[in-house]
């Protein structure tokens, strides 16, 4: 198995370290040449969604990434990655994310909450979004303070928190299970 990690900004290296801990090969995508390598899945990390969208367009990545996801490539978006997959950005997943829903940097927090099919998960929220609208075929996976913070739609997984910033590999393992 080989996973592409969008490396335009954000915690992409932490995702790569998590995959390495799980014994999974990965590579970083910074441009179209990187993207054209064989891959079994894609991780879109957190970062600043507006900047990531601009860089994706500038590097010619927007359409190929969108087409691959719509064509069935498994994808896992965390924080800004969740925002990028919503109906306002790449328009791959039938969700609408509310940016910075938990406030600014000072509103960042850590909690542990249950995630369907995964168990208790440590969750790090940093200027986090949440899902304010979900389509009928979107499966809710986790809520915190009555807000939807993780969901799945077919081959797409999103979470508002940063599992890559903890030592717990369960959310990444869940994504890899979606590919297998």
HSE toward the beta carbon, residue 132, CA cutoff 13 A? 12
Catalytic residue among 14, 79, 89, 159: 79
pLDDT at 106 over 60: no
Predicted local confidence at residue 102, as pLDDT: 62
Taking phi over 0 as left and psi of -120 to 50 as alpha, with beta for the rest, 79 belongs to: left
Label residue 180 by pLDDT band (50, 70, 90): confident
Q: What is the pLDDT of residue 105?
A: 54
pLDDT band at 54 (very low <50, low <70, confident <90, very high): very high
Average pLDDT, the chain: 94
Catalytic: which of 14, 92, 159, 162?
Answer: 162
Q: Where are the domains of the chain?
A: 2-179
Q: Classify residue 172 as left (phi > 0), alpha (psi -120 to 50) or beta.
A: alpha
Q: Which pLDDT belongs to residue 127?
A: 84
> The whole model's pTM is what?
0.96
Mean of pLDDT values over 127-144: 95
Name the nearest CA neighbour of 112 among 170, 152, 174, 157: 170
pLDDT of residue 99: 81
Considering the domain 2-179, what is its CATH architecture? Answer: 3-Layer(aba) Sandwich (3.40)
pLDDT at position 101: 64
Would residue 79 show up in a list of annotated catalytic residues for this protein? yes
Q: Which of 15, 89, 92, 164 is catalytic?
A: 164
| 162 among known catalytic residues | yes
């Amino acid at each position: 198995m080989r996973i592409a990690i969008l490396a335009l900004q954000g915690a992409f290296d932490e995702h790569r370290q998590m995959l390495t801990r799980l014994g999974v090969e990965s590579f970083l995508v910074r441009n179209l040449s990187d993207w054209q390598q064989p891959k079994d899945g894609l991780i879109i990390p957190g970062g600043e969604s507006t900047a990531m969208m601009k860089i994706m367009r500038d590097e010619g990545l927007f359409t190929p990434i969108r087409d691959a996801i719509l064509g069935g490539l498994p994808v896992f978006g965390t924080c800004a990655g969740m925002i990028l997959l919503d109906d306002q950005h790449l328009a791959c997943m039938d969700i609408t994310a509310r940016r910075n829903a938990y406030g600014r940097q000072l509103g960042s927090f850590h909690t542990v909450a249950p995630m369907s099919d995964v168990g208790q998960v440590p969750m790090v929220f940093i200027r986090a979004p949440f899902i304010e609208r979900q389509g009928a075929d979107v499966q809710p996976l986790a809520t915190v303070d009555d807000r939807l913070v993780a969901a799945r739609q077919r081959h797409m997984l999103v979470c508002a928190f940063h599992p890559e910033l903890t030592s717990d590999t369960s959310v990444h393992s869940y994504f890899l299970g979606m590919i297998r």
